Amino acid sequence: MKPLIIANWKMNPQTLTNAKKLFNVVKKGVKNIKNVEVIICPPFIYLPTLRASAFAKGYGGLALGSQNCFWEDEGAFTGEISSFMLKNIGCKYVIVGHSERRRYFKETCVMVNKKLRAALANNLKPILCVDSINQVKRGLKGISKKEIKKIVIAYEPIFAIGTGKACSISKAKEMNFSIRKILGETATILYGGSVNPKNAKDFIEKAQFQGLLIGGASLNPKEFVKIIKKVSQI
């Protein structure tokens, strides 16, 4: 399996022009890299424009994902966006249960579980963010083994998110193995939290993750492409 590198742009950049610029610089930078799957998760509002850019001539193999979804397909849910809509607009992936959603928007594991089910039902690949074994177990509660195989897990220790203080390789490796023990050898597990061009390779080579979820560094195209290049050389 190719390593996955996921860019979580969060609520950035502030303008559509800058979103297009960032996307296109990354697209160019990874054009010849075939052995890494790169997924960009911009704010919802930029998805349709970036989709057009992704499929335009010179498509460099970037896939699109969203940072959240709602669990119903349609209806009276003001301000929400469904998995169905995201699939329709060209998303392949959706991040579910990011720690910022849990913290600022009070998302619980029950809500996360519903979102995962909706994403799976709509053929979107969920990336479930967790910072503990408890969140893995509660998030996946009642989901069949067959369906769980389609879910990517991202281990993101809260202390490492946006702080510049990444998790130690040994602790990350330990969590990776603990999650793998629950989900099976073939599980796809990523690391996220202050990943940069210096530490990226180690999380894959030494801590044996299948990829990375990148926030801050994904907003700097030079750094982000550097990370992808390093991973492609493993």
- Alpha-carbon radius of gyration of the chain: 16
Residue 97 or 215 having the CB closest to ligand PGA: 215
- Least Cβ distance, residue 192 to ligand PGA (angstroms): 4
194 is a site residue for ligand PGA (CB under 6 A): yes
98 is catalytic: yes
φ and ψ of 187, to 5 deg: -60, 145
Nearest of 219, 226, 213 to residue 99 by alpha carbon = 213
Which one from 37, 107, 156, 223 is the annotated catalytic residue? 156
Residue 29 or 192 having the CB closest to ligand PGA: 192
Long-range pairs for 71-75 at CB < 8 Å and ≥24 separation?
A: 71/111, 71/114, 71/115, 71/117, 71/118, 72/118, 73/118, 73/122
CB count within 10 Å of CB 76 equals 6
What would the x/- binding string for ligand PGA be over residues 3 to 22, using CB under 6 A? -----x--------------
Decide: 221 and 22 in contact? Cβ < 8 Å. Answer: yes
- Considering only 32-40, 75-83, 104-112, 211-219, which stretch makes contact with ligand PGA by CB under 6 A? 211-219
Sequence letter at residue 45: I
- Least Cβ distance, residue 56 to ligand PGA (angstroms): 27
Positions 124 through 163 that interact with ligand PGA (CB under 6 A): 156, 161-162
SS (H, E, C) 107-164: CCHHHHHHHHHHHHHCCCEEEEEECCHHHHHHHCCCCCHHHHCCCEEEECCHHHCCCC
156 is catalytic: yes
Number of residues that bind ligand PGA (CB under 6 A): 13
Residue 99 or 113 having the CB closest to ligand PGA: 99
Q: Which residue has the tokens 């993101």?
A: 156
Distance CA 48, CA 18 (A): 15
What would the x/- binding string for ligand PGA be over residues 32 to 71, using CB under 6 A? ----------------------------------------
Q: Nearest residue to ligand PGA, using CB?
A: 215
Mind telling me the catalytic residues? 98, 156
Residues forming the site for ligand PGA (CB under 6 A): 8, 156, 161-162, 192-195, 213-217
